[in-house]
Each structure stands twice: as structure tokens, then as C-alpha cells.
Amino acid sequence: METILGLSILVNLLCFSFVKSQNYNVLDFGAKGDGQTDDSYAFAKMWNATCGGEESIGKLVIPAGKTFLLQPRVFQGPCRSSSIHIQFDGVIVAPSNKEAWSIPKSQMWIGFSDVTGLAIVGSGTINGRGSSFWEQKVKVSERATALHFSRCDNLTINGITLIDSPKSHISIQVSKTVAISKINISSPESSPNTDGINVHGSTDVNIFDSTIQSGDDCIAISTGSVNINITRINCGPGHGISVGSLGEDGEKAEVSGVQVTHCTFNRTMNGARIKTWPGGEGYARDISFEDITLIDAKNPIIIDQNYIDKGRHGQTDSAVMISNITFVGFRGTSLTKDAMTLDCSPITHCKDVVMDGINITMAGGEKPTVNCQYVDGESSDINLMHDCFKGNTTA
Ligand SMILES: *[C@@H]1O[C@H](CO)[C@@H](O)[C@H](O)[C@H]1NC(C)=O
Ligand SMILES: *[C@@H]1O[C@H](CO)[C@@H](O)[C@H](O)[C@H]1NC(C)=O
Ligand SMILES: *[C@@H]1O[C@H](CO)[C@@H](O)[C@H](O)[C@H]1NC(C)=O
Ligand SMILES: *[C@@H]1O[C@H](CO)[C@@H](O)[C@H](O)[C@H]1NC(C)=O
Ligand SMILES: *[C@@H]1O[C@H](CO)[C@@H](O)[C@H](O)[C@H]1NC(C)=O
Ligand SMILES: *[C@@H]1O[C@H](CO)[C@@H](O)[C@H](O)[C@H]1NC(C)=O
Ligand SMILES: *[C@@H]1O[C@H](CO)[C@@H](O)[C@H](O)[C@H]1NC(C)=O
């Protein structure tokens, strides 16, 4: 037994010296973890030690049983180590209200930039304590995203919980190869602009096995995003899973390859949505929503090419081109009679739209309606074919 133990210690030592890995615990850098003391300085020191360290894998520990108060901060790369693993089991809280933020108008609370191979893994909770921002109706441009990543290739987020962000909970920008799984995002249905996850300008993003309850989109995908795979997400309350909005102020939008499968929309304001501003350019294509369960969702299927926010008016001489869009296997209940609205641009039309296996009923047993404008496509359902596609073909 002793020799086996000795041998395993030896093997461990060998492994450690080979991989050259060391755990940095934030408590060793002077963090108090009492939920009151500002631990930002300890986090910065820990980050510098890990990111600038000699190890090939920087390992950082934020232990369970402690609550760390953090002011807005960006953890900047590139790092010397080829990857950074954050074992996160504690709680991180934002300052208790807006007045206590060191940078009250900051766009992000916890940011990571230019860090390759970052993994944030564990049972930890990030609490943005955003209620004072919501109650004071602070402008969206002056509220922070809780967890922001830019240029973080090969990013992993697993297991963690995020609650009550002032604005979006997670934002992924200009990053390649991202896996987000088994996370839980939760904020009140009434909280403004609290998207679950925003994906912008990123490629090969997998989001799966997670629960998102919030006051805005569960997941929103914006321009520059390619090959986004969303699987087994429990969404609601919230505004559903959206591509867009795209093409604001004449922007050239480019989104392609979005697969949303095995998701549930439970009491959401919308379900599967694509929204574009009039006057935009570019495209949104190769997008599929498949195997979707609806529980009293409002507007479960929407394409809105006349999206106009805050009373502004776009020009109408161009539009983001929407093509190869699939809605297959939607079943459950809609709270609104207008369950399916495909309101496409007269300039571009929506092309190659497929709708199949749609079985949406209303709670009272009434049959919901489908409204289509300028949609070209097909369905094996003769009613849908008649209501949506027949009258609207280009020719
Ligand atoms: C961490 O490193 C950055 C960049 O070198 C430096 O500006 C900052 O003062 C360091 N912070 C701490 C707490 O050591
Ligand atoms: C991605 O990061 C993980 C650690 O998070 C690492 O094990 C893996 O080797 C990295 N992959 C690439 C292709 O860099
Ligand atoms: C998500 O987190 C919230 C807040 O902590 C909690 O109320 C909810 O039960 C969690 N949901 C899941 C599925 O773990
Ligand atoms: C999407 O992600 C799921 C879950 O990780 C995986 O099973 C599936 O193969 C992925 N699909 C694509 C097209 O990448
Ligand atoms: C739908 O949401 C309601 C209320 O939020 C909840 O009680 C119910 O369990 C959810 N249903 C499913 C299937 O998740
Ligand atoms: C249509 O989109 C799907 C993804 O939803 C993709 O797999 C397929 O290749 C696309 N078809 C064409 C003709 O581009
Ligand atoms: C549609 O769903 C209802 C309720 O779940 C079910 O009774 C009905 O058989 C389904 N219809 C089809 C054509 O699958």
C-alpha cells in the first residue's frame, strides 16, 4: 500500500514537473472573500502571476465557501501560458449598487481580452446585483455586461451560474472555438436588456445543456457570426433565441450557419426569431431551428424584416438578405394567435424557407394563424403551403 502511495506521489510529481502546472489560489494573494472587502487587487495580482507565469497551463482557484467583491476589471492577455484554467467554485459579487461601482458607466464588469485557451469551470456564481441599474432606468449604453470576452480563442465555460447582470450576462466577441455548457443564467423577467448570451463576430461556437431565464433574449446572435450551434437550451422567461437585430443604420450584416436544436421555449415573449432593420445590407443564411418544444410561448416563429426600435425609421431601399431558413419540428402551445409571422422584405424576399412538422396549438384549443409576406419556400403541410408560400412566390 505504502509503495503504491509513494509511487503515485512520484508519478504526480513527475506529471506536475512535465506539464509545469501550479495552482494559484486567490486567497494566497490576499483576497478576503468576505463579500464586503474589495478583492479586486488580489484578483489582479493573481491574474498577473498566472498570465505572466512560466507554467504551460496557468491554474487559478477561486474557492467555494467564499464571496469575493469585484469592481469592473479587464483581465488582459496574451498570456505566456498556452492556456488558463480557472477553477471557479466560489461566489463573485458586483458592488452592491450603481453608486458603489468604481466605473459606474463601464460597459463590462468582468472582462477577458486576448486570452487563448481560457477555461472557466466549476460550480461558482457570478452575481451582477443589477437591480439598482434597472430601477434607476439607467440607459443601456451605460450599463455593464457581467462577463465579457473579446478575442478569446478556444474558450470553455462550464457549470457556472450567472445572476442579475445590469445588462447582458455573457458576451462573446471576435472569438473562435467556444464551448459553453451546463450553465445557468437567471434574472427577473422584468429586468431590461438582460440578454443571456450575446454572440458577435465569432466562429464555431457551441452552446448546450443550459438554462436561461432573463428579461431579454436568451441567446442573441449578431453580425460576423459563423457556425453557431445551440443545443438543449431551456429558455424562459425571456425573449427567445434571436438572430439579430441586423442591419441597423445601413450596417452590412453577415451571419451564416446557425443551428438551434432540441430547445424549449417556456413562456417566452418570442421563440425562434430573425430580425433585421430596413435599410441594412448583407445576409443571414443557413439558419435552422429544429425540434423545438413550446410551452405557452408568444410568437414562437418570427422573421421580422421591418424591425424598428425606439421610433426610428430606416431607409427602405435595401435589406439584409435572408435565405435557407428551416423551421422543423415545433410542437406545443402558443399564447398568441399570431403564432407564426414571416414578415419579409419586398426588396429581397426571404428565400428557401422550409417549414415542416409544425404542430402549434393554442391553450384554448384554437388554431393559431400564420402570416407571411414575401416568403418563398415550401412545406409538406398543404395548409402551410397554402397560407404561407403559395401566394407569395417571386415568379
Ligand atoms: C498587472 O500587470 C499590469 C500590466 O503589466 C500592470 O499594469 C498592473 O499594475 C499589474 N497589477 C498588479 C496588481 O500587479
Ligand atoms: C484549448 O484549450 C484547452 C484548455 O482549455 C486545451 O486543453 C486545448 O489543448 C486547447 N486546444 C487548442 C487547439 O489550443
Ligand atoms: C438557476 O439559478 C437560479 C438562481 O440561483 C435558481 O433559482 C435556479 O433554480 C437555477 N436553475 C437551475 C436549472 O439550476
Ligand atoms: C452541436 O452541438 C451538439 C452538442 O455538443 C453536438 O452533439 C452536435 O454534433 C453539434 N452539431 C454541429 C453541427 O456542430
Ligand atoms: C415552465 O416554466 C414554469 C414557470 O416558470 C415552470 O413551473 C415549469 O416547470 C416549466 N416547465 C418546464 C417543462 O420546464
Ligand atoms: C442550408 O442550411 C443548412 C444549415 O441549416 C446547411 O446545412 C445547408 O448546407 C444549407 N444549404 C445550402 C444549399 O446552402
Ligand atoms: C399535435 O399536437 C397535439 C397536442 O400534443 C396532438 O394531440 C396531435 O396529435 C398532434 N398532431 C399531429 C399531426 O402530430
Per-residue pLDDT of the chain (395 residues; tens, 9 = 90+): 455 545 455 444 444 444 455 789 999 999 999 999 999 999 999 999 999 988 888 999 999 999 999 999 999 999 999 999 999 999 999 999 999 999 999 999 999 999 999 999 999 999 999 999 999 999 999 999 999 999 999 999 999 999 999 999 999 999 999 999 999 999 999 999 999 999 999 999 999 999 999 999 999 999 999 999 999 999 999 999 999 999 988 899 999 999 999 999 999 999 999 999 988 999 999 999 999 999 999 999 999 998 766 555 555 788 999 999 999 999 999 999 999 999 999 999 999 999 999 999 998 888 899 999 999 999 999 988 888 987 544 43
Q: Which of 93, 91, 152, 85 is nearest to 120 (CA)?
A: 85
CATH number of 73-391: 2.160.20.10
Does 359 sit in the ligand 7 pocket, CB within 6 Å? yes
SS3 186: strand
pLDDT at 21: 58
pLDDT at 309: 61
Q: Which ligand is nearest to the Cα of residue 234, counting in written order? A: 5
Q: Which of 203, 198, 212, 272 is nearest to 242 (CA)?
A: 272
pLDDT at 364: 82
Q: Which residues have any ligand 1 atom within 6 Å of their CB?
A: 41, 44-45, 48
Q: State which ligand 7 atom lies nearest to the alpha carbon of 331.
A: 2
Q: In this structure, which residue's CA is closest to atom 8 in ligand 5?
A: 266
Does 323 sit in the ligand 3 pocket, CB within 6 Å? no
SS3 47: helix
pLDDT at 23: 85
Does 383 sit in the ligand 7 pocket, CB within 6 Å? no
Pairing of strands 57-62, 145-150: unpaired
pLDDT at 71: 98
Cα(48) to ligand 1 centroid in Å equals 6
pLDDT at 310: 54
List 169, 239, 262, 313, catalytic entry:
239
pLDDT at 63: 97
Contact 382, 355 (CB under 8 A): no
Cα(133) to ligand 2 centroid in Å equals 37
Residues in the chain, how many? 395
Active-site residue, 169 included: no
For 247-285, give one letter per residue: b (16+ CB within 10 A) or e: bbeebebbbebbbbbebbbbbbbbbbbbbbbbbbbbbbb
pLDDT at 99: 96
For 89-105, give one letter per residue: b (16+ CB within 10 A) or e: bbbbbbbeebeebeebe
Domain range annotation of the chain: 73-391
Q: In this structure, which residue's CA is closest to atom 14 in ligand 5?
A: 266
Does 23 sit in the ligand 7 pocket, CB within 6 Å? no
